[in-house]
Every structure is written in structure tokens, then in C-alpha cells.
Structure 1
């Protein structure tokens, strides 16, 4: 057999395999590109939402002299801002129908407040005329609470302000840990390091247990819609928890979006007081058609297109920095 015949035979045999490998390689590249894009959108949305958590309309809800962490988390404004950023980055900012469908891929949103947490989830409820309804709603606030074997009850906060029910004395006490430990018989309050470890453990376990229940209910809801994807609680790293449990914050889970032959499954966490850099907005100047990035979301004359987490990211997408010299006369 001639060498040319062997070459032709090799191509006939290996050609389909090489083609399939090439297709899979392209699929993997596209899946990686989409995953990176979705992760950037997810992080930008959480950062944008977290920055609004401590934006309160009434002075009594701001941090007081006793604790610079004692805010009332503005969960509604944070949710609205976060979803707006998310919809914008997924290209459905002006499509309410697509937005409702997109919510199927969000099994849960959690807001960590100063003394408890809220979960935004799909819930059944009764309407004004006692009719059964179902929609995404905030659940009731869950306290960061723990009960020991002696019947003592401890309500934690994001700092060392504590409320306890002292079973031995039959009364409630509240105040800074250092003060309450002097007048209480609750053993957990005697050692600050033990108290701190228990505080963090209780908060994490309580939220994760509720999230598992919420995601299971979301699976029941989406299965009725014909979705085959099984939502699960992802492993949240200890580092992420450590960066979140000291200030009010927000958690967003995004799952089930097809990326190639797999599904996107990720989460993002953001603390309101940990957001150091401003959100970068990318828009088109309607006067001259040029793409600019800027920091003020209320900047007039722009059609908002995208939201970024850094100026570098915006510049890489073709946006120019906007300043006073760019303004039209």
C-alpha cells in the first residue's frame, strides 16, 4: 500500500474524531467564556446591591453610637438595585417577561441584617380576598439564636451586643458582651473567644439549614414548570463566610443556566461596609454616540448598557472614561 493511500486512510479514520474533538474544544471555550461573563455579572450585581443596604431613609435606622454596625438593612432597595444590575448585564433590562423567567434561575437571595436574616424565595401566600397566590417574597426575619442545655437563650448580632434569657434568674438581659457577662450566669458569655466561635457557627449553620429548605422548595416549584435541573446548595467557603459575618450583607445564588453541555452554578456574597470601590457604569452618550464609563448612575444624557466592577474591565469593553471635558457645550 502506498504512503498516499495510508495517509488517505488515516484521514478517513481519524477525521471524524478530530472534528468531534474540535467541536468539543470550541464548546468548552464558549462555556468558559459564558461562565466568566455570568460570574462578572453576578459579582457586579451583588456589589451594587450591597452598596444600598445601609442607605436608609430615616435617621433612626442609621448606625448609632453604641455600634457602627447597627443598621437596619434596606433589603428592598438592595434587591431592586441588585436585580436591575443583573437584568442589565443579561440583556433583559427592559423585558419584564424575560425577567420573570430569569427568576427561575435564582433559587434564593439572603440578606444578613444586624440581628437576623431574611430569605427572598418563592412562597405560597393568601391574597386580599383569601385566594391562594404564589410569588417571590421576603420571608420573616430569622434571629441569630441559640439555646443551650440549661435553657438559656442567646440572640447574637454582627458584633458583641447580645440579648440573653438567663434561665437561672428567669429574666432577659441585653447589652455589650463585656457588661452582660458580669451579671449573667450563662456559661457561653464567660469566654469571648468561645462566644465568638459559637456566634459564627450558629449564624452559618442557621442560614445554611434554611437555604437547603428554600432550595428544595424551589426545586418543587421549577419541576412543575418542566425544568429538569436540580438546584443544590453549593459549598460556601469558610473564607467567604469570614468576609461576610461582620457586617450586614447580601448573598445571591444563580444556577441552572446552560453553558455548553453543562450548567452554570455559582453564588456571590457582598458586605455593605466592605464595598470599597464604586460601581462602574457603562453607557452611550446619546448626544454623540460614544461609549463612556462613569460612576454616577443618575448621569443624564446616557443610555445605560452595562455595569462593571472596575474601570479596567469597562475600558476593555471599549468604554472611555467620562469627565467634565467630555460634556457637550
Structure 2
């Protein structure tokens, strides 16, 4: 065979191969760019939503005196902000049809509150005509509940505060575990290490189980609307789960958006205490011996002996107010 014929044969065989590879490489780059764009949009939406968890109309729902973690999470405002930001970043603000299509790829949003959690997910009900309707809605709030083999029950919170039922005394008690230690017939309250391990386990497993259920249930809804993807709870490390329950927050999942020959699948977590309350310092003026309290943003050179979460606690401990403007 002549060299020219071999050259032609080589071109006929290998050029199409290289063209296909080049096209595939281009598709992969496009898919990666879209994936990065979607991830940025999702994380921005969750961060915006997490800040709204703090926004409460009534001061009584702000951080309480007893617990620095107590907050009334504003789930409605957070969810509204989440979707507003998401629609803006996906460029579907004025397009209800595309908004509905995007919502079809969001199997669940979870709000982690101080003493319970809320899930926003698709559920079904019968309309006035008896037809099955699938719709995103808030599921009933669920506490972080635990019970032992003695019939005792405990509702945990994001710190050591509990609402517990003592089956032997047939009475409800509440308070911080350390204050209740030795005063009840509930063994778990008498062991700090076991209590903390069980508290974290119960909170994480409760949220995990409900998320897995509703994300899996989303498959039925998605199939009816032409979304060809199997929704499931993604693998999240135990460390990330533990970090997610350190304070109130929000977590959202987006799955199944086609990008090339792949599917976009991601989640994002956002803490609700992004704006931390200023700590209150309790200090002693060594010259006069007077005890003052003031915001941690002030500096007087006094000996700082204690840190409080509120001015009320500092005043109760015998400290006098001293604002930065009095310096």
C-alpha cells in the first residue's frame, strides 16, 4: 500500500476520534463551569437565608437570657429569601414556569431550630375534586426526642437545656442538665459525657432520617413531572453533621439538574448566627475596686474576670454598667 493511501487511512480513522475527544473535552469544561455557577448560586442563597433566621419582629424571640443558643428561627423569612436569591442567580425572577421547574430539583430544605427542626419538602394531599396534588410545604415541627427503657423521655436542644419526663416521679422537669444532675430519676442527666454523645446522636439521626424519607419521596413527584433522576440523601460526613447542629441554621439540597451528560447534585449549609451578639465583659477597676460590665468591643485596661451573654446576667452578678462612650 502506498504511503499516501496509508496517510489517507490514518486521517479517516483517527481524525474523527480526535474530534469526538475534543468535543467531549469541551462539554466537560462547560459542565464544570455550570456546576461551579450552580454551586455559587446555591451557597449564596443559603447564606442569605441563614441571615434571615435572625430577623425576628418581637424582641422576646431573640437570644434568651438562659441560653446563648436560644433563638426563634424565622423560617418563613429565611425560605422566602432562599428562593428569591436562587431565582435571581438562576435568572428566573420573572418566569413562574421556570421557577416551578427549578423547584422540582429541590427535594428538601431543613431549618435547624433551637429545640426542634422543620422540613420544607414535597408532600401530597387531595384537592376539592379528590385529585392527588403534590406540593412543597412545611412539615410539622419535630422536637429532638429521646426515650429510655425506663419510660423516661427527653426533648433535647442545641445546648444542655432539656425538657424531660421523669417516669418514676411522673413529673416534667426542665433546665440545664448540669442543674438537674442528681435531682431526677433519669440516668442520662447524671452523666455529662453520655448526655452530650446521646444529644448529638439524637439530633443528627432525627434530621437525617426525615431528610432521607422526604428526599426519597421526592422521586414520586419528580417522575410525574418528567424529571428523570433518582433523588437520595447525599453522603455527608459525621463531622459536618455535628458542625451543622452547633447553632440554628438552614440546609438545602439541589439534585438532578442536567449538565451535559451528567447531573448536578449538591447541598449547602448556613449558620443562623452569622451576626454574633457582642459579649459582655465583667471587670474590676483595681484602683477603686468597683466592678463594671461593658461590651467586649471596649477596652479599659481593667482586670476582666468574667464573660456574660447579656447585660442582665452581668448586673445580676454585681457589676455596674460602663459603656464605651463613658470612657
Question: Could you state the TM-score of these two structures normalised by the residue count of structure 1?
Answer: 0.80
Matches within 5 A, 1:128-277: 133-274=133-274
**Cα deviations by residue, 1:94-113 (Å, 9 ceiling, x for unpaired):** 21221122110000000001
Q: Specify the SS of the correspondent of 1:243.
A: helix
| Aligned equivalents of 1:166, 1:129: Cα separation in 2 | 48
Runs (4+) off by over 3 Å: 1-5, 125-134
Q: Which has the higher contact order (CA 8 A, sep 6+)?
A: 1
| Aligned equivalents of 1:126, 1:163: Cα separation in 2 | 36
Preserved CA contact (<8 Å) 2:216 2:233: no
Q: Specify the SS of the correspondent of 1:144.
A: strand
- What is the root-mean-square deviation of aligned Cα atoms in Å? 1.9
| Aligned equivalents of 2:6, 2:159: Cα separation in 1 | 75
Gap runs ≥5 in structure 2: 277-327
Say if 1:133 and 1:12 are closer, same or farther in 2 by CA, change over 3 A.
closer
Q: Once structures 1 and 2 are overlaid, which stretch shifts more, 215-224 or 135-144?
A: 215-224
**Cα deviations by residue, 1:161-183 (Å, 9 ceiling, x for unpaired):** 11111112111110011011221
Say if 1:274 and 1:3 are closer, same or farther in 2 by CA, change over 3 A.
farther
**1:217, CA displacement in angstroms?**
1.8
Preserved CA contact (<8 Å) 1:50 1:275: no
Aligned counterpart, 1:103: 103
**1:2, CA displacement in angstroms?**
4.3
| Aligned equivalents of 1:240, 1:275: Cα separation in 2 | 21
| Aligned equivalents of 1:128, 1:72: Cα separation in 2 | 35
1:9 aligned to 2:14?
no
| Aligned equivalents of 2:126, 2:143: Cα separation in 1 | 25
**1:123, CA displacement in angstroms?**
2.1
Gap runs ≥5 in structure 1: 277-329
Corresponding pairs, count: 276
Say if 1:9 and 1:275 are closer, same or farther in 2 by CA, change over 3 A.
farther
The higher radius of gyration belongs to: 2
Preserved CA contact (<8 Å) 2:118 2:141: yes
